[in-house]
Structure 1
Amino acid sequence: MTDVHNFRRACYAAARRTGGKVLEFRLADDVIPNFHQGLIAYDERTLAVACTRDSAMLAIAEPRTIDFVGGTGESDPLTFADAPELLAALATLLPSSRVLILSELNGPFDATTWPHISPDDIKYWRPGTLGEALFNYWD
């Protein structure tokens, strides 16, 4: 299980180290999604630090726009982003977590390498990339 307090603390510290500012946290408190997000704003863009709820996996993604009026949320696969300085800061701040880089996340998914992901989910959802398999909105 991910320690939300440590995740939040690491996002604030990583933002300070990289010249960003934490805007908000989107903490998953229901079945979906299977990850939390911390949004960090920079002058040129905003990034989401995604952290899986059940394991210590971290990734950087483009933040989603949520439509509160229509009642829809963010359910498509994440669009992962490259942010080497932010990834390096997170790796230092959360050494027990695995910080995944863009090429890993967008690379092919091999179910034998990730036995903790349900075979039934893999069969039903058919993730095409590692990022889709690890950070998802599967119910």
Structure 2
Amino acid sequence: MLIRIARGATGFWGHGDDPLPGADVAAFRSACHAAARSIDGTASEVAPAGSMPSFHTAVISTSSGRSIVLCHAVFPVVAFVASLPNDGAPLPDFISPPGWAAAFEVGGFRLLDVDELCMPLASADTSELAGEELEQVGYWRPNTVGELMFNWWD
């Protein structure tokens, strides 16, 4: 399976280019609450991406535990990780979307699976990335598609 990485996946774009689209934070928040309701849980800590991370974060909690959801800042895609992200640290602990994650698809988001996120970047098609993005990739040297998409680059 060859994954094509779309322009903007790093969260960077070319100077003078039209701005990249942005994932709808309100739609992400709504999808988090819908997902939480579907499992008698609560959504909290829905944090929009700041100046550095390329993703928004949410925590969905139930009596049996919590799930950490990441939403890409540019594209309407979500991923799940086993633990809360640490500022500046890579996110190597991607997990498969839980069964109740369909609420995100209903909200217009695509679920990213572990196989996609853990694919070696060398095996992905990066031909659509802007020159500035390729410079960032060369500097930060992500190993996987997930590290490229969900990053803290500045």
TM-score norm. by structure 1 comes to 0.80
- Distance in 2 (alpha carbons) for counterparts of 1:123 and 1:37: 26
Find the partner of 2:113 among 101, 104, 120. Answer: 101
Aligned to 2:145: 130
CA shift at 1:17, angstroms?
1.2
CA shift at 1:43, angstroms?
2.8
Query: Does residue 116 in structure 1 map to residue 129 in structure 2?
Result: yes
Task: Note closer, same or farther for the CA distance 1:89–1:25 as it changes in structure 2 (3 Å cut).
Answer: same
Task: Note closer, same or farther for the CA distance 1:75–1:86 as it changes in structure 2 (3 Å cut).
Answer: farther
- Distance in 1 (alpha carbons) for counterparts of 2:67 and 2:127: 26
Where structure 1 has 5 or more consecutive residues not aligned to the other structure, the ranges are: 66-72
Larger RCO (CA within 8 A; separation ≥ 6): 2
CA shift at 1:135, angstroms?
0.5
Give runs of ≥4 in structure 1 deviating > 3 Å.
Answer: none
Task: Note closer, same or farther for the CA distance 1:99–1:48 as it changes in structure 2 (3 Å cut).
Answer: same
Task: Tell me, yes or no, if the aligned pair for 2:54 and 2:151 is still in contact at 8 Å.
Answer: yes
State the AA in 2 paired with 1:10: A
RMSD: 2.0
Find the partner of 1:87 among 83, 97, 101. Answer: 101
Task: Note closer, same or farther for the CA distance 1:63–1:10 as it changes in structure 2 (3 Å cut).
Answer: same
Task: Tell me, yes or no, if the aligned pair for 1:61 and 1:81 is still in contact at 8 Å.
Answer: yes
CA shift at 1:137, angstroms?
0.4
Aligned to 1:36: 56
Task: Note closer, same or farther for the CA distance 1:87–1:105 as it changes in structure 2 (3 Å cut).
Answer: farther
Q: Secondary structure at the match of 2:95?
A: coil
Query: Does residue 19 in structure 1 map to residue 40 in structure 2?
Result: yes
Task: Tell me, yes or no, if the aligned pair for 1:48 and 1:63 is still in contact at 8 Å.
Answer: yes
CA shift at 1:116, angstroms?
3.4
Q: Sequence identity of aligned pairs in percent?
A: 34
State the AA in 2 paired with 1:115: E
- Distance in 2 (alpha carbons) for counterparts of 1:7 and 1:116: 25
Q: 1:82-121 CA distances to partner (integer Å, 9 max, x unpaired)? A: 2331332211222xx3220122112222452472361111
TM-score norm. by structure 2 comes to 0.73
Where structure 2 has 5 or more consecutive residues not aligned to the other structure, the ranges are: 1-21
